[in-house]
């Protein structure tokens, strides 16, 4: 768990006591106590707050802030700007009327990008004044059959250098995943003057600071865009970069992993066990062969770290964010949640207190039925942003999948072709 304190706040101290978690009309309770004990929940209404106390019941309920109470206090030092959105009249294209792409990864998302570009080729030409063409797709095995048709003139290659060293390629699109080769590809492309579009949340969470520093040091119009890295088809990254410039974000809370939300919906609505819900998620392609990143909450934690950097300008290590997954939840827990008038959702939450501290965690939470997030079911993602000016903004949509994720990549590609900021 983490707490960041603004340098103007005096006498920063380590939090050791459970505190109240206040927000307009709602109070979430983390469902897994640090001790792992099963607990009882009693709500007492106070002035502008709801207190949740913890002594003994089947529910693994603890106060939402107990997941944060042992956090370390850091200096609140904004580290990000909008270096990846620098103004540009247009990219330095290989030809005046053509934007050429090289795609790293020919799987689900890479194929979706190719299909959307082919389907809407004429429209994109009218919109940008440029022909957007895929010149090369880099894959591990060129002989493997693909579930999409390559555009005319596009070749399949197996060496990263075939794209990185091709001066005719304007934009490198990284959708192959991972944090080792992917980082080399992204950094190499930027250093070679190519703008980069990626959907790689793990890479962004781990190395965004280093990547932005490189972009800031480059001359010309080289840009780095990563809309698809958080919540797939929901345009949350762009919104965080541009729609809250004059605002102050106080709280972000959201369902930011589609696999676990699908499973929790099945356990709540359909009465399935954890194992049954996981099996169904795997059959439908929502869960990976190894679902640990999803069910352990680690995927959601990576996304929350990225959102915290955009909202509060702070950069922390992922393991500093308290993280609990859904593996210990049972059907009985959902029965108790219904008795209390709510349900259980895996939430990523980051809150800035009145004193300037920022606290964050990922955990299964009890959510009341009158909360907007309680009705977000299936593999859908949703994020609520509480801010001074806009008060409450809710973003909801498909958080993963071939075309939702590819669509966000396409938006970044088209923006670069248009020369948008």
Q: What is the DSSP string of 206-271?
A: HHHHHHHHHHHH--TT--EE-GGGTTTTS-HHHHHHHTTTTS-EEEEEEE--HHHHHHHHHHHHS-
Measure Cα distances from 29 to 60, 97, 395 in Å. 10, 55, 22
Tens digit of pLDDT at every position of the chain (421 positions): 454 443 333 333 322 222 233 343 345 556 544 433 332 232 223 333 222 322 223 333 333 333 344 333 333 444 444 334 443 444 554 546 899 999 999 998 999 999 999 999 999 999 999 999 999 999 999 999 999 999 999 999 999 999 999 999 999 999 998 899 999 999 999 999 999 999 999 999 999 999 999 999 997 789 999 999 999 889 999 999 999 999 999 999 999 999 999 999 999 999 999 999 999 998 887 888 889 999 999 999 999 999 999 999 998 899 999 999 999 999 999 999 999 999 999 999 999 988 889 999 999 999 999 998 999 999 999 999 999 999 999 999 988 888 999 999 999 999 999 988 6
Quick check: pTM over 0.85?
Answer: no
Q: What is the number of other CB atoms lying within 10 angstroms of the CB of residue 51?
A: 14
Which backbone phi and psi does 189 adopt, to 5 degrees? -65, -45
- Give the span between the Cα atoms of 390 and 236, in whole angstroms: 15
User: What are the structure tokens assigned to 370, written together?
Assistant: 């009158």
- Give the span between the Cα atoms of 281 and 179, in whole angstroms: 25
Q: What is the number of other CB atoms lying within 10 angstroms of the CB of residue 126?
A: 8
| Spacing of C-alpha 302 from chain mean position | 7
Question: Is residue 75 within 8 Å of residue 4, measured between CB atoms?
Answer: yes
Question: Is residue 380 within 8 Å of residue 399, measured between CB atoms?
Answer: yes
3-state secondary structure of 340: helix
Measure Cα distances from 293 to 227, 290, 327 in Å. 20, 8, 12
Residue with tokens 């440029």: 130
Question: Is residue 101 within 8 Å of residue 133, measured between CB atoms?
Answer: yes
Beta bridge partners of 249: 387
Residues 6+ apart with CB under 8 A from 75: 4, 5, 7
Catalytic positions are: 303
Measure Cα distances from 30 to 262, 269, 321, 402 in Å. 19, 20, 14, 32
Nearest CA to 100 out of 199, 27, 195 is that of 195
Nearest CA to 346 out of 305, 284, 280, 299 is that of 299
User: What are the structure tokens assigned to 405, written together?
Assistant: 């994720």
User: What are the structure tokens assigned to 288, written together?
Assistant: 């990976």
3-state secondary structure of 335: helix
Residue with tokens 């392609």: 285
In degrees to the nearest 10, what's the CA dihedral of 32, 36, 38, 43?
-40
3-state secondary structure of 278: helix
């Amino acid at each position: 768990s983490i707490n960041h304190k603004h340098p103007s706040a005096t006498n920063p101290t380590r939090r050791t006591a459970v505190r109240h978690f206040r927000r307009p009309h709602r109070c979430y309770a983390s469902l897994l106590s640090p001790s792992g004990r099963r607990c009882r929940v009693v709500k007492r209404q106070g002035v502008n707050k709801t207190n949740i106390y913890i002594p003994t019941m089947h529910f693994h309920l603890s106060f939402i802030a107990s997941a944060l109470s042992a956090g370390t206090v850091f200096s609140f030092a904004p580290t990000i700007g909008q270096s990846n959105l620098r103004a540009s009249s247009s990219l330095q294209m290989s030809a005046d009327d053509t934007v050429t792409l090289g795609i790293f990864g020919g799987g689900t998302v890479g194929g979706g990008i190719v299909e959307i570009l082919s389907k809407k080729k004429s429209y994109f030409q009218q919109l940008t004044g440029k022909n957007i063409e895929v010149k090369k797709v880099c894959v591990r095995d060129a002989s493997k059959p693909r579930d999409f048709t390559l555009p005319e003139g596009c070749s399949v290659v197996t060496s990263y250098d075939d794209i990185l060293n091709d001066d005719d390629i304007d934009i490198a699109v990284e959708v192959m995943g991972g944090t080792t080769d992917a980082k080399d590809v992204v950094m190499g492309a930027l250093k070679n003057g190519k703008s980069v579009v990626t959907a790689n949340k793990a890479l962004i969470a781990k190395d965004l600071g280093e990547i932005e520093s490189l972009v800031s040091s480059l001359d010309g119009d080289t840009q780095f865009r990563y809309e698809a890295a958080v919540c797939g088809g929901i345009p949350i990254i762009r919104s965080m970069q541009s729609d809250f410039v004059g605002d102050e974000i106080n709280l972000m809370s959201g369902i930011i992993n589609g696999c676990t939300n699908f499973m929790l919906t099945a356990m709540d609505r359909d009465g399935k066990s954890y194992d049954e819900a996981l099996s169904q998620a795997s059959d439908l392609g929502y869960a990976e062969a190894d679902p640990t990143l999803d069910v352990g909450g680690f995927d959601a934690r990576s996304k929350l770290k990225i959102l915290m950097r955009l909202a509060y300008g702070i950069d922390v290590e992922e393991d500093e964010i308290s993280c609990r997954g859904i593996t210990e939840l049972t059907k009985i827990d959902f029965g108790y949640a219904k008795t209390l008038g709510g349900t259980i959702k895996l939430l990523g939450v980051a809150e800035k207190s009145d004193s300037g501290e920022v606290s964050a965690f990922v955990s299964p939470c009890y959510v009341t039925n009158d909360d907007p997030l309680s009705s977000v079911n299936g593999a859908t993602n949703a994020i609520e942003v509480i801010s001074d000016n806009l008060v409450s903004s809710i973003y909801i949509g498909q958080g993963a999948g071939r075309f939702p994720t590819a669509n966000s990549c396409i938006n970044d590609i088209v923006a670069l072709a248009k020369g948008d900021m």
